Amino acid sequence: MLEELKRIVYEANMELPKRGLITYTWGNVSGIDRDQGLFVIKPSGVDYEELKPEDMVVMDLDGNQVEGKLRPSSDTATHLELYKAFKEIGGIVHTHSPIATAWAQAGRPLPCYGTTHADYFYGEIPCARNLTEKETRDGYEKNTGAVIIETFKDRNPMHVPAVLCKNHGPFTWGTDAANAVHNAVVLEEIARMNLMTEQLNPSVLPAPQFMQDKHFMRKHGPNAYYGQTKES
């Protein structure tokens, strides 16, 4: 069942330690088959060195485990909420990558200080508020998703495919699982650049808006001219 998607999601998960975003089992990637209404996610707490494509867990959009012997990631309910609310996304990643997590712990959105950011994310990457005590107690993972959705009520999640969850860490998404991992790698890299940018100039301002527009549109607009073909 969904063997090809399981392989894709498995490989996207394995990219996390290869790219240095993961310590031990701190992360998970999922990918969705919109036609079947099923998504595939990493099992909970399994070592990356021992992970196999057939370990991937299949879930439906009501939160039922459809296939897989292992328990799904403890963050599965968050992924589920995001797939239901953000109809265009095909993959989701959660990590504790250290620098993006530091911004999340600092409770700060990531400003757009340059073209590296603007090539991927249109405007600042928001920091979602903390859950309340009640939201934490009753359905913590589901409510984590709900608070992310609330954060994007006036934003297009395809234009800003990342969020920082306060005192927790980042979630990213994308057109598929591999693209979501790509965005997780970029997020960590701009988190690194921006930390140093502020150390070098504590009163730094965001890049001019017309520059942000230019770079985002150069890669993502209808007349994109970066790369060999227009992105789908």
Of 230, 204, 207, nearest in space to 217 by CA: 230
Residues 162-191 that bind a copy of itself (CB under 8 A): 167-169, 182, 185-186, 189
What are 190's two structure tokens? Answer: 């701009």
Q: Which is nearer to a copy of itself, 49 or 154 (CB)?
A: 49
State phi, psi for 155 to the nearest 5 degrees: -125, 155
Q: Which is nearer to a copy of itself, 6 or 42 (CB)?
A: 42
- Residues 73-83, buried b or exposed e (16+ Cβ, 10 A)? bebbbbbbbbb
State phi, psi for 74 to the nearest 5 degrees: -65, -15
Q: Per rule CB under 8 A, is residue 102 in the interface with a copy of itself?
A: yes
CA of residue 29 relative to chain centroid, distance: 9
Does the annotation mark 75 as catalytic?
A: no
Binding mask 122-161 for a copy of itself (x = CB under 8 A): --------xx-x--xx--x---------------------
Name the catalytic one among 55, 60, 119, 140.
119
Assess contact for 47 and 14: CB atoms under 8 A. no
Residues forming the site for a copy of itself (CB under 8 A): 23-26, 43-46, 70-71, 74, 96, 98-99, 101-108, 113-116, 130-131, 133, 136-137, 140, 167-169, 182, 185-186, 189, 192-201, 204, 207-208, 210-211, 214, 218, 225-228
